[in-house]
Amino acid sequence: MLVRRMKKYARLIVHRGINLQPDQHVIVYASLDHPEFVRYLVLELYRAKAGKVDVEWSYQPLIKAKYKHEKLKVLGRVEEWEKARYEHYIETKPARIYLQSSDPAGLKGINQHKVNRTSQKRYPIIKGYIDQMDNKYQWCIAGVPGPGWAMRVFPDLPKMQAVSALWEAIMEASRANGDDPIKDWDEHNANLKARCDWLNEHKFKELRFKSSNGTDFRVGLLPNAKFLGGRDKTLDGIYYNPNIPTEEVFTTPRKGDADGIVYSSKPLSYRGNIIDKFWVRFENGKVVETGAKKGAKLLDSMVKLDEGASMLGEVALVPYDSPISKLDLTFYNTLYDENAACHLALGSGFNNTIEGYENMTLEQIREYVNDSMIHVDFMIGTEDLDIIGVKENGEEVQVFKNGNWAF
């Protein structure tokens, strides 16, 4: 039974996730937690006429060892072969599949200062390559249960039962449990598009969030930005689903236009560590104060990582009664938890939410869209969250009422 479901899940990732094109090169990024599923996925890629498939493996204990034993000047160096690889990817545009299965707290104890300094040294060098690839290839993030992750979600179950339970939750959350998941995703994408169309027709200049946990917050929106949700499209016109699962519609807010305070509604797994029961206060678009019952220092260092880390790059709307929320689980994984609740993201915004972005220079886009080496989603949605959209003429429209869509 599980093998059949894994194969069905693999087909969904290949045909609706990346929407593989004939003879395309695919790179699969995976940890050592579930090689069996990686095998099914690779075989499905070949059946779908992939031209070449590469798998790049990772393992959390080795990552910790690397940061413990290697010097910062070594960690922060971008080798010439890495630059050549980026150049090759710019030219060939391989599709990418990112399988998430690692323990959410598997990097606990790692030297966060060293991790930050490594990112700060490497990012300015690789950023130019990343910009050249932006919106030019298909990619998809999907989850596969590893034992460490499963035991965190289901701590009272034996390891194998926990893995089985997490498989069940992932399949349910990913709309992969039905007779025809591909058809189900086509319908889901159409529903998300209808939500986006309604929001885009209203052309809101700002959104206001309020809930009983203390969240009282407003964020400015761009007049030339649009809400997106579900499937995305490359500049070559290839549709794909970057996230499996997804329940959100989202946009990039106006850079530096946010005020008020927001309280988290779910824990945040960040760099293999947990930040929980936290809050963030904004003034004039920037984070000016943070606090947390768990991970306060990590949260503070995150918003100070670079200039853009203290500003917003995304505002996303997710109904409280979404299928993932109804599972009543904390996944300790942003891919799932962000699709159970409205959320914000600190760091980089999305160029493709701007109308006509393909005809603009990066400098023009970054006048309005935040740029950073991070993009970190954190959840603020609650069962009593109200959201008001404000139009240019001052008219107020109820967007969310008691945690769910008001239309």
pLDDT digits (tens, 9 = 90+) for 256-291: 999 999 999 999 999 888 999 999 999 999 999 999
The answer as to whether 58 is a domain residue is: yes
Q: Over the stretch 43-102, which tens digit does the pLDDT of each residue have?
A: 999 999 999 999 999 999 999 999 999 999 999 999 999 999 999 999 999 999 999 999
Shared domain for 249 and 329, answered yes or no, is yes
Asked if residue 291 and residue 162 are part of one domain, the reply reads no
173, 195, 217: which is the final residue of a domain?
A: 173
Q: β-strand 139-143 against 375-379: which pairing, if any? A: unpaired
Q: Which helix (H) or strand (E) segment is 60 a member of?
A: helix 60-69
Do both 264 and 158 map to the same domain? Answer: no
Pair 288, 385 in one domain: yes
Nearest CA to 267 out of 342, 332, 325, 343 is that of 332
Number of neighbours of residue 203 by Cβ within 10 angstroms: 14
Same domain, 213 and 111: no
Which amino acid is present at 9? Y
* 119, 76: one domain: yes
Tell me: do 151 and 212 sit in the same domain.
no
154, 173, 192 — which closes off a domain? 173
d(CA 303, CA 97): 28
Amino acid at position 398, single letter: Q
pLDDT at position 238 over 80? yes
Residues 158 and 217 in one domain: no
Cα first-last separation, the chain: 39
Considering the domain architecture, whether residues 167 and 294 belong to the same structural domain is answered as no
Residue 3: Cβ-neighbour burial (10 angstroms; 0-12, 13-18, 19+): exposed
Query: Both tokens of residue 10?
Result: 């693999």
Do 104 and 30 lie in a common domain? Answer: yes
Q: Are residues 319 and 399 in the same domain?
A: yes
Query: Residue 185: which pLDDT band, with cuts at 50, 70 and 90?
Result: very high
- 161 and 210 co-located in one domain: no
Domain holding 20, by residue range, is: 2-173
Who's near 189: CB < 8 A, 6+ residues apart? 230, 231, 241
Burial class (CB in 10 A: 0-12, 13-18, 19+), 6: buried
Per the structure, how many domains does the chain have?
Answer: 2
